[in-house]
Structure 1
Amino acid sequence: MSGIEPIRIALADDQALVRKGLSALLRDLGGIDIVIEAEDGESLLLQLAQTQVDVIVSDIRMPRKTGIEALRVLRERGDTTPLILLTTFDDSELMLAAVQAGAQGFLLKDAAPEDLHAAIKRVARGETLLQPVSLHSVRANWHDVSPESKRAHLTDRETSILRLIAGGYSNKEIARSLFLSEGTVKNYITDILLKLDSRDRTHAVLKAITQRLI
């Protein structure tokens, strides 16, 4: 026994076969405990009010509240549980809506089970997952692009750190890569969020992409 607690997740999808299939695949890969299965956004919200989880994995398009609508309700009631939204569409507008609502991850349903398994572990560690939309589409559809004169001005060090954040690196990994202390990295990230007027790392990365800072 390793003594490592499994990651507790909530899984929401209106298609029973998809939901059961994902649940079985994730269990087989190990280290994950599916404690909630929901067939729509309303059911997901009701169960989350009763049961605490580490990560939420939800389809975007569901009846009785979409994944994004459920996410907005969670954030409004102060629930900051990391959430990965799944979609069958390579749609940059959906990705932006998901990030603006407070999602930590965005993944296509045709991703390999191992990719979803890895994504759950990443967001459970506080990282983000910005897959799979092209940067061109993100820039074209982002509705908060600042004029050139209002672009954030990042130092070379801040830009380096932001690139590593975009690559999914944790604070510890960034610190090791740049030969800095983890506390120093946290301070840099605080400054980056302030300069980009962003509430979290995911929002900061998307904003930096649209302003062509990274």
Structure 2
Amino acid sequence: MNPPADSLQVALADDQALVRAGLRALLQQQGIVIAVEADDGGSLLAQLPDHPVDVVLSDVRMPGVDGIEALRRLRARGDATPVLLLTTFDEPDLLLQAAEAGAQGFLLKDAAPEDLRAAIEAVAGGASLLQPVSTDPIRSRYRYHADDAPKERFSEREVAILRLLAGGYSNKEIARAMFLAEGTVKNYVSVILEKLDSRDRTRAVLKAITLRVI
């Protein structure tokens, strides 16, 4: 059965043919259209100008141009298409590299099918998924940052908002979930960024993990 006309259009990149075929079948079963398919980052970059998509779903580790390098080149040429990176490696360094390169999401390949679908829908809608890997390795690897970081106290409401930020919720969604005005949430986010000495949400969430705030 053909997917509905308003289905999400996705570009799929993975160097392993069997993995790519499995992901293609899984996504098509959920009504997602695979508009671009590539076996490396170079092929992905070459196809995207002629085939605009809603989300790029790419493996991180590929020979030649890997997922993170493809993402960097995509952003360098002004393409803001949301990118969701997949990996089998639970490595905190990759999360940081992906976030700094401009990824909207980072997901382990053993995620449940419904989680993958939800992640694609979330990043297509403008959200970010910043906590898909275990947080303990991040805290351990970057503990030296936390030792020198300011440890201002966070209120329970600020911690709750930080957790929602880590889940990719927008200010409007946070306001709805916490029964607050959107302007109030915006003020809370500004205070949180200031307390964490961070210039954006991604860095604030990563620093909050390191400091064990969330």
Give the aligned partner of residue 209 of structure 1: 209
How far residue 151 of structure 1 moved from its aligned partner, in angstroms, is 4.8
Taking the aligned partners of 1:65 and 1:42, their CA distance within structure 2 comes to 6
Report the identity percentage.
Answer: 62
Is the aligned partner of 1:87 residue 2:104?
A: no
How far residue 87 of structure 1 moved from its aligned partner, in angstroms, is 0.8
Taking the aligned partners of 2:20 and 2:86, their CA distance within structure 1 comes to 11
Q: CA RMSD in A?
A: 2.6
Taking the aligned partners of 2:124 and 2:48, their CA distance within structure 1 comes to 17
How far residue 101 of structure 1 moved from its aligned partner, in angstroms, is 1.6
How far residue 20 of structure 1 moved from its aligned partner, in angstroms, is 2.0
Is the aligned partner of 1:25 residue 2:26?
A: yes
Give the aligned partner of residue 5 of structure 1: 6
How far residue 156 of structure 1 moved from its aligned partner, in angstroms, is 5.2
Is the aligned partner of 1:77 residue 2:71?
A: no
Code of the aligned partner of 2:80: T
Q: In the superposition, relative to structure 1, how do residues 152 and 99 fare at CA in structure 2: closer, same or farther (>3 Å)? A: farther
Taking the aligned partners of 2:184 and 2:47, their CA distance within structure 1 comes to 39
Provide structure 1 residue ranges, at least 5 long, that are not aligned to the other structure.
Answer: none
TM-score by length of 2: 0.84
The size of the alignment, in residue pairs, is 211
Taking the aligned partners of 1:132 and 1:154, their CA distance within structure 2 comes to 23
Taking the aligned partners of 2:27 and 2:62, their CA distance within structure 1 comes to 21
Deviations 1:136-191 (A, max 9, x none): 20112238825445456756544331122123434333112222223432454355
How far residue 58 of structure 1 moved from its aligned partner, in angstroms, is 0.3
Q: In the superposition, relative to structure 1, how do residues 188 and 124 fare at CA in structure 2: closer, same or farther (>3 Å)? A: farther
Deviations 1:35-80 (A, max 9, x none): 1111100011111233222211100111220101111112222222
Is the aligned partner of 1:14 residue 2:12?
A: no
Give the aligned partner of residue 164 of structure 2: 164
Deviations 1:110-160 (A, max 9, x none): 222222111101111222223442222011223882544545675654433
Taking the aligned partners of 1:82 and 1:144, their CA distance within structure 2 comes to 32
TM-score by length of 1: 0.84
Q: Which moved more, 1:146-155 or 1:110-119?
A: 146-155
